[in-house]
Structure 1
Amino acid sequence: MVAKILNHSIFKNVVNFKAGLILLLTVTLSYGQSVKDNTNVVTVLMAKALIDVQNGKTVVNPVLYIRNGKIEKIGTGLPIPDGAKIINLSDKYILPGLIDAHTHLCHEYYGELERVSGANIIIETVKLTEGDRALLGAKYAREMLMSGYTSVRDLGNSGMNSAVALRDAINKGWIIGPRLFVTTRALSPIGGQFSKMTPEVQNVIISKEYIEINSIDDARKAVRQAIYDGADCIKIIVNNGRLVLSEEELTAIVDEAKRAGLKVAAHATNGDGPSLLAIKAGVSSIEHGYTLSSEVLQLMAEKNIYLVPTDAQGVERYQKRIQRAVAAKVKIAFGSDLYYYNASITRGQMAASSYGTYKEAGMTNLQILQSATMHPGDLLAGEGKIGLLLNGYFADIIAVEENPLDNIRTLEKVVFVMKEGEIIK
């Protein structure tokens, strides 16, 4: 009798489990179908004009079909499909989402701490946990996106892996932010970018921000570690004061990175020497390069190496370098390199106001637009993905009140932001 009761109970449990499983599968399939149906719905975006940043043209009354996060079709007078979601920006100018090729989202300095040399970097490294820095990055990522920056490259000074965590959180939809291309710790000469410290402190602190390179083996190992940690690209500090990585070390870094399909960004200052070493090694971009000569810039143009200026306003020698770069036909990718706290303006607003530096140097509005969209788009993601409004590209779109070909400062007041087909603002 007991056996019969047990068997009957087991049978009922099996039946109930199967029924529950069938119900779960039905709901899952139905949900999956509804999701698929929703993603197949076309979004139709209409605007007053589209700025063709590649050719410097203004296309009047454009109509864009957007599906599954990408631009499907662009034209004028296109019909509106049944059931389409309509976005009417008929009084606005649209252009590709802005791109910042040199940011530090998990990094924040304070002006008052500059009274003591090196205080900012030590305090940041010691006091902030990886979680603190990732959350700080979340704040600045949101500010960048709300100002129209749909993609950014974060080049370190983010602790061990805070920027990687930030990127992953954005990709999972936990928080909003630009599409992130991140490095892990920068590869550098001994000491990184820290001021002189006692040996005991060096051993504890420097490795939190930099991987120190002292041999070719160190160089290869560091790149492999960065790849394992989740880097999208590699950042190298070619020189820090009198310490300069060797050509052999730089070549090893680039070789290892290219084997994994990653590009290398080279922080290079102090004249032509460090940049020449990086160029010979085959890097993809020179960061800063404040006073590069025409000869070096010409070599960069021949090798399709990008210049990412991060200039303060009003510095004549920086402006002359921009003029030489334009004359040499070097591709310029905008980089804000902002990391100082400012209570009166957001990080994104500060970045957008930086285009005035390029204007002061004599760049045309079209050249500035290209440096803010198509050039960094190619540098960060390769061709055919971001930085232009063309069929097959991600639907990263911003809108402004005025034609930026006439007034570049209109980029400081972005009124509409779409990232990958989703309206953000």
Structure 2
Amino acid sequence: MSKTFYTTLIFLLLAGRVSFSQVADTYYLLKADQFYDAEKNTFVKNQEILIKNNLVVEVGSQLSPPPNTVVLDFGNATISPGLIDTHSHILLEQKIDESLAVDAMMVSSETRVLRAAKFARSYLEAGFTTIRDLGNSGQYLDLEVRNAINSGYISGPRMLVSGPIIGSMDGQIFGLPMADFDRISKQEYSMVSGVEEAKKAVREHIARGVDVIKILAIGNRLVLGLEEMKAIVDMAHSERVTVTAHCDRDWAAHNAIEAGVDGIEHAYGFKTATLEKMADRGIYVVPTYGSTETIRRYYELQNEPYTEEELQENASHWKKWILELKAAGLSIVAGSDAYFDMEIPRGGIGQTSHLGICGFRTVS
């Protein structure tokens, strides 16, 4: 069992949860009936976990903790590594029947940050210890939430954030009058035209303190050009920052692949040749496909009748795509793309998305 692996994780207590203090040199010894070893995909009995402040320092049986260690015995609970959602949007909430623009237009930055604090806590309570937040978060509001968590002002998982998504001049918001489109799009995105603007946007993002750069391989209609994408990737990589690309159409992915992005988000129905090219380049994919439970919740919110057969049929394309990703040899990373108001805790939406990606219900 690798100690290095576990030092990156805070553990989810499936039968009870505990919040760890960040006071220096405080030790906790966790005991429970079972311990899930994620590296070996097996459950281990009679294991203990020694935590110093917020880091795991030792895992084993009959450990010898320092004096004054707080012992937390959870009886027949199971201790498991925390979940990770690599595609979240905790500064955004969209009603099922609303446009993407409504939240940005009608909700103040202050309210969005306060609401995000609630969403962040719900992720933690659902067992997520890390989330990667990928835009639709105003002008760097995601950094405010991340920094508040890191400072101990609010409770939440570790956050890796992108700041405003870098894209072409049309962004992702449509259907607005021109004056409103210009104002809201500039609030939510970094829209660039040309190589120099693309480089400047990356410099600004890194100077502000983002953890990852996210680009729009395609927005509503316009694509970033190959040279613009190359400039973004080269600039980010020179500062040891990775780049991931929103891309939901196969034909639009090829410039992103050629530009050398590290990851692609969504990848809906990509052709086999495209997937194999991504695998050859070492590009990971975050499918964001959801699960039958996602569809079930949608039906319930709309008060529409459904059968279990209909749920499976509606999710069949996700199952097909997941199997194609696996067959191509791609690195598949779980991400929910949760931003709709499903009238359940945001962390719960992340859990249902993981069902589909990891193989439960929709994938055999």
TM over 0.5: yes
Which of 216, 236, 249 is equivalent to 1:237? 216
- Tell me if the contact between 1:130 and 1:160 (Cα under 8 Å) persists in the aligned partners: no
Residue identity in the other structure for 1:268: C
Distance 1:303 1:163, change over 3 A: same
- Alpha-carbon displacement from aligned partner over 1:76-102 (angstroms, at most 9, x marks no partner): 233454432211123122111111000
How far has the Cα of 1:182 moved from its partner?
0.8
2:134 matches 1:134 = no
- Which has the larger share of helix? 1
Residue 7 (structure 2) aligns with: none
Counterpart residue type for residue 254 of structure 1: V
Aligned: 1:349 with 2:360: no
In structure 2, relative to structure 1, the CA distance for the partners of 1:54 and 1:304 (3 Å cut) is farther
SS in 1 for 2:199: helix
C-alpha separation between the residues in 2 aligned to 1:276 and 1:54? Answer: 34
Cα deviation digits, residues 283-341 of structure 1 (max 9, x gap)? 12110001122332223333332111111434323321210112233221111111112
What is the CA-CA distance between 1:244 and the residue it aligns to? Answer: 1.3
Contact 2:142-2:163 within 8 A present in 1 as well: yes
Q: Which amino acid aligns with 2:215?
A: I
Secondary structure at the aligned position of 2:349 is classed as helix
> How many angstroms does 1:124 deviate by?
1.9
Match of 1:172 in 2: 151
Amino acid at match of 2:163: T
Matched, 1:289 2:289: no
User: Is the Cα contact below 8 Å between 1:290 and 1:317 reproduced in 2?
Assistant: no
CA distance in 1, matches of 2:211, 2:354: 26
Alpha-carbon distance in 2 for matches of 1:95, 1:88: 15
Please state how far the C-alpha of 1:282 moved relative to its aligned partner: 1.7
SS of the residue corresponding to residue 90 of structure 1 reads: coil
Q: Separation in 2 of the partners of 1:360 and 1:297?
A: 24
* Superposed CA RMSD: 1.9
Distance 1:46 1:303 in 2: 43
* Separation (CA, whole Å) in 1 of partners of 2:233 and 2:146: 23
- Code of the residue aligned with 1:362 in structure 2: it is V
2:58 to 73, 94, 117: 73
Partners of 1:47 and 1:91 within 8 A in 2: yes
Report the residue type matching 1:307 in the other structure.
Answer: V
Larger Rg: 1
Q: The residue matched to 2:246 in structure 1 has which SS?
A: strand
* SS of alignment partner, residue 129 of structure 2: strand
**Do the aligned residues in 1 keep the contact of 2:272 with 2:328 (CA within 8 Å)?**
yes
Matches within 5 A, 1:116-265: 120-265=99-244
Question: Following superposition of structure 1 onto structure 2, how do residues 5-24 of structure 1 map, counting pairs within 5 Å?
Answer: none
The 2-side partners of 1:167 and 1:103 are apart by: 13
Partner letter of residue 206 of structure 1? Answer: S
Please report how far the alpha carbon of residue 247 of structure 1 lies from its aligned counterpart in structure 2 after TM superposition: 1.4
> Which residue is equivalent to 2:18?
none
Q: In the alignment, residue 247 of structure 2 is paired with which amino acid? A: A
For 2:16, the equivalent position in structure 1 comes to: none
| Within-5 A mapping of 1:336-415 | 336-343=336-343, 345-358=344-357, 359-362=360-363
Structure 2: 5+ residue runs without aligned partners?
1-22, 292-313
- Which residue is equivalent to 2:335? 335
Q: Offset of 1:74 from its aligned partner? A: 1.4
Runs (5+) with no aligned partner, structure 1:
1-37, 114-119, 364-425
Segments of 4+ moved more than 6 angstroms = none
User: Matched residues in 2 for 1:285 and 1:150: separation?
Assistant: 21
Identity of aligned residues (%): 33
Could you tell me the TM-score, scaled by structure 2's length? 0.82
Cα distance in 2 between the residues matched to 1:52 and 1:75 = 11
Deviation, 1:181, is: 0.7
The SS at the match of 1:331 is coil
| Contact 2:356-2:363 within 8 A present in 1 as well | no
- Checking the alignment, whether the CA contact within 8 Å between 2:27 and 2:52 is kept in structure 1 is yes
**How high is the TM-score relative to the length of structure 1?**
0.71
Mapped to 1, the partners of 2:229 and 2:337 lie a distance apart of 23
Question: In the alignment, is the contact (CA less than 8 A) between 2:174 and 2:220 conserved in 1?
Answer: no
The match for 1:56 is 41
One-letter amino acid of the structure 2 residue matched with residue 90 of structure 1: G
Q: Which moved more, 1:87-96 or 1:180-189?
A: 87-96
Q: After superposition, what is the alpha-carbon deviation per residue over 1:81-138, rounded to whole angstroms, capped at 9, x for unaligned?
A: 443221112312211111100000010111233xxxxxx3332222222212111111
SS of the equivalent of 1:243 reads coil
CA distance in 1, matches of 2:231, 2:171: 18
Partner of 1:93: 78
Distance 1:221 1:80 in 2: 51
Taking the aligned partners of 2:262 and 2:229, their CA distance within structure 1 comes to 12
Which is bigger in relative contact order (C-alpha 8 A, separation at least 6)? Answer: 1
